[in-house]
Structure 1
Amino acid sequence: MSFFQLLMKKKELIPLVFFMTVAASGASAFAIYSLGKTDVIIDRKRNPEPWETVDPNVPRKLITINQEWKPIEELQNVRNATR
């Protein structure tokens, strides 16, 4: 018995199959989207040391609660002197 014949015989499975398909598609789309972000590094051959390309002006934390980010004056002076 094929899959579609089973669905036509037991029509109560159609919503279940629909929602499972939507959930699996959404999970796959999010996984592909997450792999394209800069936080996830898969290719170690082209960029073996990714920490060298991190912008120091962008604060990167896992969680920040009620914190104001202020640039470090010494770092800004060095950056302005090297420009």
Structure 2
Amino acid sequence: ISIFKYITNRAKANEILLYSSVLRSQVKCYCKYSTKNINKTGNPEPWEAIDPARPQKLLTIHQKWKPIEELEKVKKLTK
């Protein structure tokens, strides 16, 4: 019996074929358009690119950033 005759005669085989093809296409799209950055050689730590003088939306809505003197002294000593 050929595969196509088997699939057309069996209703369950049609459903399995449909679900597997839809799942396969979704996996391909996820792999192609994934938002995760796997290769982090260019920017290993994302917080290093943040400018502290520029306010961030989630943390500093109505605040101004001011440097802390003690923290600046510690940074200078550790460098």
* TM-score normalised by structure 1 residue count: 0.46
Question: Relative contact order (C-alpha < 8 Å, sep 6+): which is higher?
Answer: 2
* TM-score normalised by structure 2 residue count: 0.48
Larger of the two Rg values belongs to structure = 2
